[in-house]
Chains A and B, each alone.
Chain A
């Protein structure tokens, strides 16, 4: 079992719909990243959070440390939101600086 699991693996929705992508992890963490990857490979960091909730434009990320779970929400989705969304964590292992990634969620927003 992977340390970081995302669901769903694929998600197709219509423009304007509210989108939720879930991330569950099995290890203690110091922080969690949500990342966006467009075709061609480039990865952009959307959020880094260790507690509570963060909002940026139409994107909202929440984390529940006790339940080891995070969600990424997109309001009023748009075709340009189509991308792979990846959850990654910094495990609480002494000296560890690496990110451990989920397998990604491929989001397609149809006009």
Chain B
């Protein structure tokens, strides 16, 4: 399968714990996006990478959130000191170098539940 993959698919954690999610984009895609989706809502933008550079971050991405894409391939999203409000589906998407604002290909998501 050569689509976008995310790991884990589900994560249940206790409030205050740290969690890390991984996204592997389609191999030739240089752009990678993280979105968050709460129940009954559309996704909301969190952050965007072009190769290894993090070019844009949402105000939703508080100090407890950090994302990396160290070699311009896979990306990780870490949430420190999780809160119940962090419970959501975390979606990763990737897109190729051209066109500039083209189709984004989504992964299956990681569903986070904070108890």
Which A residues have a C-beta under 8 Å from some C-beta of B? 4, 30-31, 33, 35, 40-45, 48, 86, 88, 90, 95-104
Contact = CB atoms under 8 A, between A and B. Distances in A.
A48 B56 contact: no
A30 B101 contact: yes
Interface stretch (B16-24, B41-49, B62-70, B71-79): B41-49
Contact of A97 (B31, B41, B44, B91): B31
A48 B109 contact: no
A98 B49 CA distance: 10
Contacts of A44: 106
A98 B35 CA distance: 9
Contact of A104 (B41, B44, B101, B104): B41
Contact of B101 (A31, A45, A86): A31
10 contacts: A4-B42, A30-B101, A33-B103, A41-B111, A86-B43, A88-B42, A97-B50, A97-B101, A98-B45, A103-B40
Contacts of B44: 101
B103 A41 contact: no
B108 A41 contact: yes
Given A41-B89, A41-B91, A98-B33, A48 B40 contact: no
A40 B55 CA distance: 29
A97 B106 contact: no
Interface residues of B, number: 28
Contact of B56 (A41, A98, A103, A104): A98
Contacts of B35: 99, 101
Contact of A101 (B42, B101, B103, B105): B42
Interface in B1-45: 31, 33, 35, 37, 40-45
A48 B104 CA distance: 10
Given A31-B101, A97-B55, A42 B45 contact: no
A61 B42 CA distance: 19
Given A41-B108, A97-B48, A103 B42 contact: yes
Contacts of B40: 103-104
A35 to B, nearest CB: 8
